[in-house]
A = this chain, B = another copy of it.
Amino acid sequence: MSGSTAWDRLGRHLHETQLLGSIQSTLYWDQNTRMPSGGAAWRGEQLTLLARQLHQRQSSAVYAALVAEARADWQSQIDAGDLSEVERQERGRNLELLELDLRRQQRQDPDLVAALATAKAKGYDCWQQARSSSDFPLFAPALEHLISLRQEQARQLDEDRGCWETLAQPFEPDLRLSRLLELFAPLRRRLPELLQQVQKAPRPRSLDWDLSEQQQQRLCSQLLEEWGRDPAITSVAESPHPFSITLGPRDFRLTTRVVSGQPLSCFLATAHEWGHSLYEQGLPTASHQWFAWPLGQATSMAVHESQSLFWENRVARSEPFAQRWWQRFQAEGAAVDSPASLWRAMNPIAPGTNRVESDELSYGLHIMIRTDLELALLEEGLPVRDLPAEWNRRYQELLGVTPLDDAEGCLQDVHWSEGLFGYFPSYLLGHLVSAQLSEAMATAIGSPEEHVARGDVSPLLAWLREHVHPVGRALNAEGLVQQVSGRPLSSDAFLAYLESKLECLAAAA
């Protein structure tokens, strides 16, 4: 490794930090795809050790000096007129993001970092057991512990933000809770109204046919092949919860799962996770935008989700997609006899108790419930023991359904078991971002549906690779949407898309 400028030295430090971070991610990947349950305790210790090491590196005086040196170097190069405007901006943005993260790392007590890593691993293990026996009291102590550790973390971070908002920053940089509530307000009004209309002619979620694991996997392979998967840099496995993760600059992984009785679940999850992966694969790689630098990283979970939702909802669930694919589904044994029958099967609209399997309309309400409950748990003193009752009450109110048990209710999601609070809203923001970016795309190159109808999605990917993916962290989510669409993020595009789709579905019923 040559180069001895302050910038190069900082780069080498970040490179090694990224090596450690991606080792952590590899352990996480293994934990979710292959590790036997008996490995949980030791894996927890491994992850705690790495979390300590990473925190130590990212908060060390050595690292702080490297960042300060690079900042001084940047300034003196500007003074000497040695940097182009683009270089000045890009390096400046990298430094700004590194300094922000450095301050956050420095403010956290190493013991808290280690305790959190341990509590996450234990929480995850405990949640798995609790969910399989639908035994919330079994999980409650772990959740209480995670909440108190995360509250302590927010106190230590000591930002000009409430607890929830502080914890949401890593997922949605710069997000304000007030802005989130403003963005969600029209949805809070409109989604229940739309749901009421739809319920006059509900579109049932369950299908009267199924596909074997092999059949589903063959369809998923065809999809990824058609969408240009390169097996030299991507790998697919199975896990209880589908996810996408990047383990190296040329090592992208995704997982799916086959759900009995839901023959389209794995296919749609594949489309979804592939969208996440395409975003990661399209992040900038030039010099100081690379993998280990902030500019080479995903800017927010909402933008990430916008990319997965684009491929899942705008492409795979579209009418022209069904037109092109229904015969392949039929050939694998699916009981579909027309494009319309596959399209209808792809687009159930019926409120249920499960977020992951929910439709595009009720999805937002699942997120509102979680957001409200996170605020209640973290900031308003809701006792953990009251969570199941509160959960069920809100589901009845907003969606008109009640979970059979806590496994189907407040134990359904993994997030809280890993201490991830402040994450859920990104999913719904992702719907808003996706819709607004899709409008901009349609104006520029024609609607996604037109391209799908022509059987060539490559212009869609090319447009995303030009306007969205390479931005990295140069802009936050709202900045990206403003730049691409020319106006601030709002719920307008999403609600317009949703209303139009519901109309079409009603017409096709």
Residues of B within 8 A of A482 (CB): none
Which residues of A11-56 have CB atoms within 8 Å of chain B's CB atoms?
16, 19-20, 22-23, 26-27, 29-30, 33-39, 41-43, 45-46, 49-50
Complex interface bits, A199-236 against B, C-beta within 8 A gives 1, otherwise 0: 00000000000000000000000000000001111110
From A248-256, A355-363, A369-377, the one touching the partner chain is A248-256
- Given A41-B250, A250-B41; A235-B49 close (CB under 8 Å): no
Min CB distance A281 to B, Å, is 11
Across the interface, A38 reaches (CB within 8 A) one of B20, B38, B233, namely B233
Complex interface bits, A66-107 against B, C-beta within 8 A gives 1, otherwise 0: 000000000000000000000000000000000000000000
Interface residues on A, range: 35 or more
Residues of B within 8 A of A384 (CB): none
Residues of B within 8 A of A45 (CB): 19
| CB nearest neighbor in B for A50 | B23
Residues of B within 8 A of A234 (CB): 36
Residues of B within 8 A of A30 (CB): 26, 29-30
Q: Is the CB of B38 within 8 A of A22?
A: no
Min CB distance A249 to B, Å, is 6
A508 to B507, CA, bound (A): 74
Q: Quick check: is A505 within 8 A (CB to CB) of the other chain?
A: no
Residues of B within 8 A of A250 (CB): 36, 38-39, 41-42
Q: Quick check: is A237 within 8 A (CB to CB) of the other chain?
A: yes
Most buried by B among A29, A230, A231, A251: A251
Min CB distance A382 to B, Å, is 35
| CB nearest neighbor in B for A31 | B26
Q: Quick check: is A502 within 8 A (CB to CB) of the other chain?
A: no
- Given A19-B45, A34-B253, A253-B34; A39-B233 close (CB under 8 Å): yes
Q: Quick check: is A126 within 8 A (CB to CB) of the other chain?
A: no
Q: Quick check: is A183 within 8 A (CB to CB) of the other chain?
A: no
| CB nearest neighbor in B for A251 | B39
A20 to B30, CA, bound (A): 16
Residues of B within 8 A of A19 (CB): 42, 45-46, 49
Across the A-B interface, the 4 shortest Cβ-Cβ residue pairs: A39-B251, A42-B248, A38-B250, A38-B233
8 contacts between A and B (CB under 8 A): A23-B50, A26-B27, A35-B235, A35-B251, A39-B251, A41-B248, A42-B248, A46-B248
Query: Could you tell me which A residues sit within 8 Å of B by CB distance?
Result: 16, 19-20, 22-23, 26-27, 29-30, 33-39, 41-43, 45-46, 49-50, 230-235, 237, 247-253
